[in-house]
Structure formats: C-alpha cells, structure tokens
Amino acid sequence: MMFFKDSDIRLDTVDGNTTRKVLAHSPQLMYVKVLFAKAAAGEIPLHKHIHEQVTYVMQGSFRFAIEDGGRREEQIVREGDSIHFPSNALHGCIPLEDDSVLLDAFTPAREDFL
C-alpha cells in the first residue's frame, strides 16, 4: 500500500494517557502519530528498542530523557523541536500538557505496532 488515509487508520490505546496511529510504513520505515494527555510528574519511564528513531514535536511539550553510552541527558522539548534516538538507547518522555502530539519515524518499521 502506498496511500494511507487518516480516516482508514485505527487509533490504538497504548496506556491510560496515550494513543497512537501507525501512519505510512514499509518494512524499512514507519511513521507513527502519538497523542498524549498530560501525565503526572515523576520519573520518566525509559524503554529501548533496536529501531533507530527520530521524533518531531507537533503540538505541546514534553520532558524527554535519553541514556546512551552511560550518559543521561534530559530536556524539555516543545512544538517544532526534534530528537534523534540511536538504536538501543534508553529513552522516554512525560507529556507536560494535554493534547500533546509527537510524530515518530522508525527504521526498520516497528512490527510490534502493526
């Protein structure tokens, strides 16, 4: 498939404050739109995956953390900012506002999202 119409794409619930839509994708590349409600303050939950990832903040703001090579960096990012996550780097975020939205790109595609 080469065209992915928003009206045809399923909205998946990730957790109590997160939903996502898997947008255009191939085995090598995937776009994912992730929608958030404001989360409670606290520790940023970290995860990692083999996929290289870039993230663009479409709306709202987030506190992101990235751990790579024993170094941890934490920053607040806002609409228009973008982030690169190397393969297997620990990372995560807390949405600081309701209706915050990220656009994630993964390579290779996240088969676990399909």
pTM of the model: 0.94
Task: Report the CATH fold assignment for 22-113.
Answer: Jelly Rolls (2.60.120)
Q: Residue length, the chain?
A: 114
Sheet with 71-78, side-by-side order of all strands: 71-78, 61-68, 90-95
Instruction: Show the tokens assigned to 101.
Output: 């939205």
| Domain spans in the chain, listed from the N-terminal domain onward | 22-113
Walk along the chain (114 residues) and give the pLDDT tens digit of each residue. Answer: 899 999 999 999 999 999 999 999 999 999 999 999 999 888 899 999 999 999 999 999 999 999 988 899 999 999 999 999 999 999 999 999 999 999 999 999 999 999
